[in-house]
Amino acid sequence: MAEFPVESVRRMFPALSRSGSSMFFDNAAGAQIPQKVLDAINDHLLRRNVQRGGRYRESQEVDATIDRARRTVAVFLNAADPNEIAFGMNATSFIRVISLALGQTLADRREIVVTDLDHEANIATWLVLEREGALIRWWKVRDDGQLYVEDLEELLSSKTRLVACTAASNALGTIVDVAAAAKSAHAAGAEVFLDAVQYAPHGPIDVQAWKCDYLVCSGYKIFAPHMGFLWGRHTALDNLPTFREEFIPNTPPLKIEAGTFVYENVAGMTAAIEYLSELGGPVREDESTTSRRERLVRAMQKIQEYESKLSGALLSGIASIKGAVVYGVRDPKAIRQRGPTLCFNLGGIPPATVTTKLAARRIAVRDGHMYSPRLMKRLGLSPDSGAVRASLVHYNNHEEVGQFLTALEEIACD
């Protein structure tokens, strides 16, 4: 595979070229956006900042913008139907929408499986269904920071309604075998809900191959503005009882999209996916949906290959610092089982002290529980202090990794 064009990629992101800008190693909390996305947002606000559904040109252009976004996101996810895509504020709000709906359909299947590897958004939203009589079963992470399908299978039964899990840990970077989890869940007659927020920037998503039933993602983690989207199998969404105004059709996606979402951010989401697609080769105006999908998969595979090298360098570098402890997958040979997100601590130095000293060097990282306090407890850490997290994406480079490791060594020796 050809060398990844990281320097040309970096030139597409205005935030990276500002004089004295920070080194962004907090991408799991939100990534920077390319100029193409900024242009799309600006163009929408200048030319068609109106409500959809009207008969005049600008309003019809908004309708076309939304339609194009659904088709683009469908290609990104390999969805069978663009109408399986719903837009809204963020992933968390969509998890709650589905949990409220499922809470009304539990019947004899009252058991919901959640994991202690997940972001709290994909835990608390299901725990609240205990008020509706749901029974929670815990699929627990092992000491190596991974979820094993054989552990899930012990929890499944004819009473299981849903398995909710992440595709990649927002704290540890662990990648979950979601296709295997879905196969086991479906064999028991259960549905599968995936949080793909942390996986989406790092590899190709294929809802048909994964055979999940629902999936959520946040645009601001994949080089777009703050927004979110939900995918669901058409039949699954069709059967859900949801809130809607009387004049809204009781069919997806409209039945899922309560109220008005932010149209300019949806336009930005389209541009972000188009940006990613262009990393897979030149765009042709007449290309088919299949060709667009193939190009996008190539792009995400190139990103995976490049980021695995960044991950390896970061992992080995931190591990070599005296007193450093890396949580989760640590074996360099298993680097493909994790994304470029590492949680660690430097000996007895408080995580907040580490991140404060890094911030003074204009290196942006994060400390705390990473919205995964249950996972912190599982790791033997206080949720109050937690750990340090460095999270990279494909616009980061090896020079930055080297500078970051040098800074950590200096902090460890202070």
Residue tagged 């404060």 (tokens): 356
* CB contact at 8 A, 16 and 38: no
pLDDT values of the chain reduced to their tens digit, one per residue, 414 residues: 579 999 999 999 999 988 678 999 999 999 999 999 999 999 999 999 999 999 999 999 999 999 999 999 999 999 999 999 999 999 999 999 999 999 999 999 999 999 999 999 999 999 999 999 999 999 999 999 999 999 999 999 999 999 999 999 999 999 999 999 999 999 999 999 999 999 999 999 999 999 999 999 999 999 999 999 999 999 999 999 988 888 889 999 999 998 899 999 999 999 999 999 999 988 777 788 889 999 999 999 999 999 999 999 999 999 999 999 999 999 888 898 999 999 999 988 999 999 999 999 999 999 999 999 999 999 999 999 999 999 999 999 999 999 999 999 999 998
What span, in angstroms and rounded, lies between the C-alpha atoms of 262 and 6?
31
In this prediction, residue 60 carries a pLDDT of: 98
What residue spans define the domains of the chain?
Answer: 6-32+292-413, 39-278
For the chain, report the end-to-end CA distance as a whole number of angstroms. Answer: 42
Q: Do domains 6-32+292-413 and 39-278 have the same CATH topology?
A: no
In this prediction, residue 18 carries a pLDDT of: 86
Extended beta strands in 219-338, E state: 228-232, 324-327
Fold topology of 6-32+292-413: Aspartate Aminotransferase, domain 1 (3.90.1150)
In this prediction, residue 283 carries a pLDDT of: 76
Residues with Cβ within 8 Å of residue 258, at least 6 apart in sequence = 88, 97, 242, 243, 244, 245
In this prediction, residue 1 carries a pLDDT of: 58
CATH for 39-278?
Answer: 3.40.640.10
In this prediction, residue 19 carries a pLDDT of: 67
